[in-house]
Amino acid sequence: MAREEQDLSAGDARLQAFLTALAARPLVMGILNLTPDSFSDGARFQGLDVALAQAKRLADGGADILDVGAESTRPGHTPVPADEEWRRLEPVLGPLVEHIALPLSIDTYKAEIARRALALGFSVVNDVWGLQRDPEMAVTVAQAGAAVVIMHNRENVDREIDIVEDMLRFFERSLALAEVAGVPRTHVLIDPGIGFGKSRAQNLAALKATDRLKSTFGLPVLIGVSRKRMFGEILGAGVDDRLIGTLAANLATLARGANVFRVHDAAEHRAALSVYEAIANA
């Protein structure tokens, strides 16, 4: 019990550090994939030693929070059962809490996985289905006193719809679920879900609508475009050559009010955000 209370206290402290920083400056969320099939870095960080080393690199590069996931959600991915997802996560999560001082986010849409990670000292749940896939997720977040990233998603691409209006309706549903469960609104971020159930034109429209999302809901906006396929389509760039496109998109959304940037390249983004802030605050 003492160990559990210690872990929960550590998670609470990290959550408060995250929320305080969120109100003060743009934040970098470093990506730590423990998947064998991620589109960008699949199988590179599955072992404990390499995962901890990558987490340390991200932290040393200026990441404010780490987002840890063990199921790829790229287009065409194969869904992973909860027991397999936890098998990938379990050896790494505890050591991450012990050795990495940053707030930690669990990237999952399964309430069972979220509950276990939060019990170990994680502070944030990053749900790519915005509390709408697992009916227990909102309650799980509320009971743990955690923060949550509500991401817009669609089962299929429909090029005929107004994607921004679709996002607004989706977020209204998700926020209603969060409110009923008792998740404080101060613990909620929204994510337009770039690359999830959207055409290239809809991805660009969603990014352009960052300011509208911010003004409509009054919530922090997280942008996750790192190395996405749209940069390959726009620039003809391979996965390893998409940093410039990622930086450009993130700075464009920062100018529209975005708050958190989920990226593979923490150091480069911390440098770019620092220059942007220096100019903005001159």
Contact 188, 147 (CB under 8 A): yes
Residue type, 2: A
Q: Which residues pair with 67 in a beta bridge?
A: 31, 105
What does the alpha-carbon distance between residue 113 and residue 129 come to, in Å, rounded to a whole number?
Answer: 14
Burial 31-70 (b: 16+ CB within 10 A, else e): bbbbbeebbbbeeebbeeeebbebbeebbebbbbbbbbbb
In whole angstroms, what is the distance from residue 194 CA to residue 229 CA? Answer: 10
> Under DSSP, is residue 150 helix (H, G, I), strand (E, B) or coil?
strand
The torsion region of residue 197 among left (phi > 0), alpha (psi -120 to 50) and beta comes to left
Report the C-alpha dihedral over residues 158, 162, 165, 167, rounded to 10 degrees. 40
Report d(CA 221, CA 150) in Å as an integer. Answer: 10
The residues with which 234 forms a beta bridge, in sequence order, are none
- Pair of tokens at residue 101: 């001082």
Task: Provide the annotated active-site residues.
Answer: 228, 262
